[in-house]
């Protein structure tokens, strides 16, 4: 009898694969959330939603000009306001709120937090909050640090004050001289469901027409984004529409989204943008990213590291893949993580894009046409 029981148990173990001693896959990720003290720079969503945000307002005249454009286009955006500017222009703050737009905290006076003490950082955040609460009756959910730079204890301070850190995944360097066409084109090249765009409606605590090119760029940008089937929402609305991240790896890393280039004529390289959410305790050099393209003439394998972080715009990694060996055709891509730099033992992976618990299979194929034009399949 004992032999029969032992034999049945051994057979059951073999049938269930327990004898392989494979590490269990991580649980499928729940709906994406961002807690106070955590960075929000990109949101996995099931719809074509994008958030447009502006730093350094309210400004006279640029903020009012942007409000007029948004009203005409019937879109809602997010204004990251400087406390002193808000106190100087309470009427513009009221117009922002009345227009259905969201407000975020961008500090009291726009100092560099990386050169500030924790006490100064806390005071800059809380004093700005007091101004916003007095003018609107509400404390902002988001806090975006000036210049996008962190400071000592910044994450802990935002956790204490109840703020989600407002980052971004797409920018156009509109603080430098660029034409409206260049600004709009740069953001269109970074368009993806769940993206957060950064522009400016002011210049620190100075009034004046410093952002005329940005205002004109928005007038061009909004119709083109709409024409691609997208809808503009505020950053809090974008977060409310979040779904589960496409993939989660055994070390706690989450893949929030992958963006192919929509169209690059006569491309000499393919830029793949990967949006990650990384645990605070993760040593970023402790994991390596492997991308495998499968299709005509493939497979091709490329590797890179995780984003190096350090400020709010360095959580998106762009891998530029040279395609001289690519042949015209359709390619699919897998993204795997390994511990260490060159270790090929893939970490277990779970989620909607994670077949076999080995890698995330990006669902939309990359199409290479005979003239080497690169397109993302709809």
Q: Are residues 202 and 298 in the same domain?
A: no
Task: State residue 324's pLDDT score.
Answer: 54
pTM, 2 dp: 0.90
Q: Do 217 and 253 reside in the same domain of the chain?
A: no
Report the first-to-last Cα separation within the chain, whole angstroms: 61
3 state SS of 137: coil
Bridge-based pairing state of the strands 329-339 and 287-294:
antiparallel
Contact call for residues 159 and 34 (beta carbons, < 8 A) = no
Same domain, 199 and 225: yes
Question: Using one digit for the tens of pLDDT, what is the confidence trace for 202-248?
Answer: 999 998 899 999 999 999 999 999 999 999 999 999 999 999 999 99
Tally of domains within the chain: 2
Residue at 1 is within a domain: no
Return d(Cα 166, Cα 197) in angstroms, integer: 11
Contact 336, 358 (CB under 8 A): yes
- Active-site entry in 41, 89, 101, 200: 200
pLDDT attached to residue 14: 36
Q: What CATH number is associated with residue 116? A: 3.20.20.370
Catalytic residue among 55, 56, 201, 334: 55
pLDDT at 329: 85
Same domain, 82 and 230: yes
Residue 28 lies in a domain: no
141 and 266 assigned to the same domain: no
Contacts of 143 (CB under 8 A, 6+ apart): 104, 105, 106, 125, 158, 161, 163, 164, 165, 166
pLDDT reported for residue 323? 63
- Residues 180 and 208 reside in one and the same domain: yes
Q: For the chain, what's the residue count?
A: 378
Q: What is the domain extent for residue 291? A: 245-376
Q: What CATH number is attached to the domain comprising 250? A: 2.60.40.2950
Output the pLDDT for position 245. Answer: 96
Q: How do strand 360-368 and strand 374-376 relate by DSSP bridges? A: antiparallel
Per-residue pLDDT of the chain (378 residues), as tens digits, is 444 433 443 444 333 334 445 567 788 889 999 999 999 999 999 999 999 999 999 999 999 999 999 999 999 999 999 999 999 999 999 999 999 999 999 999 999 999 999 999 999 999 999 999 999 999 999 999 999 999 999 999 999 999 999 999 999 999 999 999 999 999 998 999 999 999 999 999 998 899 999 999 999 999 999 999 999 999 999 999 999 999 999 999 999 999 987 666 666 777 889 999 999 889 998 899 999 988 887 788 898 999 988 888 788 888 888 765 677 888 899 999 999 766 678 999 999 999 878 899 999 888 887 776 777 765
Q: What confidence score (pLDDT) does residue 223 get?
A: 98
Same domain, 78 and 224: yes
**What per-residue confidence (pLDDT) applies to 50?**
98
Residue 21 is assigned to a structural domain of this protein: no
Closest CA to 306 of 290, 288, 292, 282: 288
For residue 25, the model assigns a pLDDT of: 77
Considering the domain architecture, whether residues 229 and 300 belong to the same structural domain is answered as no
Please check whether residue 114 lies inside any domain of the structure. yes
| Cβ-contact 64, 108 below 8 angstroms | no
pLDDT, residue 15, reads 37
Q: Is the domain of 44 the same as that of 166?
A: yes
Angstrom distances, CA of residue 344 to CA of 42, 301, 364: 28, 12, 25
Q: Is 41 a catalytic residue?
A: no
């Amino acid at each position: 009898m004992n032999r029969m029981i032992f034999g049945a148990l051994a057979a059951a173990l073999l049938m269930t694969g327990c004898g392989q001693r494979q590490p269990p896959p991580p649980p499928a990720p729940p709906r994406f959330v961002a807690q106070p003290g955590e960075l929000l720079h990109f949101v996995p969503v099931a719809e074509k939603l994008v958030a447009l945000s502006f730093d350094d307002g309210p400004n006279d005249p640029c903020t009012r000009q942007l409000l007029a454009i948004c009203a005409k286009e019937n879109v809602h955006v997010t204004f990251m306001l400087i406390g002193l500017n808000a106190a100087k222009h309470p009427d513009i703050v009221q117009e922002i709120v009345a227009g259905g737009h969201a407000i975020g905290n961008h500090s009291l006076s726009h100092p560099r937090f990386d050169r500030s003490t924790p006490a100064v950082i806390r005071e800059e955040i809380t004093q700005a909050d007091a101004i916003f609460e007095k003018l609107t009756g509400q404390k902002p959910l988001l806090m975006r640090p000036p210049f996008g730079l962190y400071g000592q204890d910044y994450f802990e301070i935002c956790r204490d004050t109840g703020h989600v850190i407002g980052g971004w995944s797409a920018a156009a360097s509109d603080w430098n001289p660029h034409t409206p066409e260049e600004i709009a084109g740069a953001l269109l090249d970074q368009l993806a469901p769940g993206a957060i765009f950064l522009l400016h409606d002011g210049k620190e605590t100075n009034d004046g027409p410093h952002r005329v090119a940005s205002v004109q760029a928005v007038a061009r940008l909004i119709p083109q984004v709409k024409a691609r089937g997208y809808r503009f929402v505020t950053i809090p609305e974008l977060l409310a529409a979040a779904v589960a991240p496409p993939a989660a790896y055994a070390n706690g890393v989450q893949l929030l989204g992958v963006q192919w280039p929509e169209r690059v004529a006569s491309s000499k390289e393919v830029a793949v943008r990967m949006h990650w959410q990384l645990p605070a305790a993760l040593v970023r050099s402790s994991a390596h990213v492997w991308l495998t393209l499968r299709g005509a003439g493939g497979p091709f394998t490329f590797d890179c590291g995780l984003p190096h972080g350090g400020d709010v715009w360095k959580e998106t990694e762009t891998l530029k893949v040279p395609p001289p060996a690519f042949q015209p055709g359709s390619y699919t891509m897998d993204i795997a993580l390994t511990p260490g730099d060159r270790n090929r033992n893939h970490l277990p992976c779970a989620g909607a894009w994670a077949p076999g618990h080995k890698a995330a299979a990006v669902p939309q194929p990359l199409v290479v046409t005979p003239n080497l034009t690169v397109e993302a399949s709809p």
